[in-house]
Amino acid sequence: MKILVFIKQVADTEARILIKSDKKSLEIENKYNMNFFDEFAVEEAVSIKEKTEGTWVAVCTYGSKRAIEALRTAIAMGADQAFLLDNTNLDSDDPLITAKILAGFARQEGFDFILCGRQAIDDESSNIGVMTAEFLGIPHVNSVMKLDIVNGNRALAESEIEGGRETIEVQLPALFTTQKGLNEPRVPLITGVMKAMKADIPLIDPCSTGLIRETIDTGAARINVLYYETPQGRPAVRIIEGASPEEKVKGLIAVLKEEAKVL
């Protein structure tokens, strides 16, 4: 069985992000990690591999050479192989283009099913998994909290929906986006780290998968960022005055009812 995992390298949640003076681009502190939700995808793939003989896990990402570090982390966790789909001179922000590129690679590489995080924590577009599945013409299940592969050709996926969970049976090949709670991503053993350090990670030109350059280069983006703005700062803290705790509570309730209008 071959499992393909898509990951994305994103800025660390504690990295400083500043909007540049043109308001259209960002200056990001040089701290990057594997996307939070993709960790569940890698962990799930490796766990299935450990339980099922003959399973091969390949991880790929579409990004710059900097993203090789995230691929090495996936290998350290137990993936067998990793690939970088090189974004040099190509658009790197448009989810549709990214999905086309990932689908092109997946088609060429072959797979039994695909795992990826339900969203990236930087742009939170939540589009890539779904769009890639559509390009590949395969079913997809989102926000998977439990996944059982049955007889190597179908899956029972429990996904999170509003107010509960839904279990879906789906024929493979299929794509599953992973949600927090699916598993507990492992801390790599040092043997995995050492293997990852030495791993050979090929750089792949997305055009080598049959895509036409004009459809995926910087001019082909469907989304155009107009500007960025910083979130509104938190308003000043207001201390509710009162001679006693009871009075302060009354004062607070009055504010919540009449000013904040949440009661």
Partner 1 sequence: MDFQLTEEQGFFKKTVADMIDRMVVPKSQEIDEKDEFPWELWKEFARLGYLGLRYPEKIGGLNADKIMCMTFYEEIARGSVGFAQSAIMNILMGTYFIHRFGSDAIKERCLYPAMKGEKIATMCFTEDQSGSDLGATRTLAVQDGDGWRINGTKMWITNGPICDFCTVLATTDPSKGLKGLNFYLVEKGTPGFSTGQIIHKLGCRGTVTGELVFDNVWVPYENLLGKEPGKGVSYVSDILDEVRLMTGAMALGIAVGAYNEALEFARKRVAFGQPIGNYQLIREKFADMDTMMNAARLMIYYGSWLLENNMESRVVAAEAKMYATEVCLKVVDELTRIYGANAFAYEYKSQRYFRDARFLLYGGGTHEVLKDFIGRSIIGKL
Binding site for partner 1 (CB under 8 A): 33, 68-69, 72-73, 76, 187-191, 193-194, 196-198
Closest to partner 1 by CB, 190 vs 243, is 190
Closest to partner 1 by CB, 173 vs 192, is 192
CB of 150 to partner 1, least distance (A): 31
CB of 64 to partner 1, least distance (A): 14
Closest to partner 1 by CB, 72 vs 118, is 72
Q: What tokens does 28 get? A: 């990001």
The order of strands in the sheet holding 140-150 is: 164-171, 154-161, 140-150, 174-178, 113-117, 2-6, 56-63, 81-86, 203-204
CB of 9 to partner 1, least distance (A): 12
Rounded CA separation 157/159 (Å): 6
Q: What tokens does 199 get? A: 């791993």
On whether the CB atoms of residues 118 and 43 are closer than 8 A, the answer is no
Closest to partner 1 by CB, 194 vs 253, is 194
Region at 147 (left for phi over 0; alpha for psi -120 to 50; beta for the rest): beta
Distances (CA, A) of 146 to 10, 30, 155, 208, 255: 25, 34, 10, 35, 44
Closest to partner 1 by CB, 46 vs 157, is 46
CB of 68 to partner 1, least distance (A): 8
Q: Looking at the chain, how many residues does it have?
A: 263
CB of 193 to partner 1, least distance (A): 5
CB of 69 to partner 1, least distance (A): 6
Closest to partner 1 by CB, 200 vs 214, is 200
Q: What tokens does 132 get? A: 């890639």
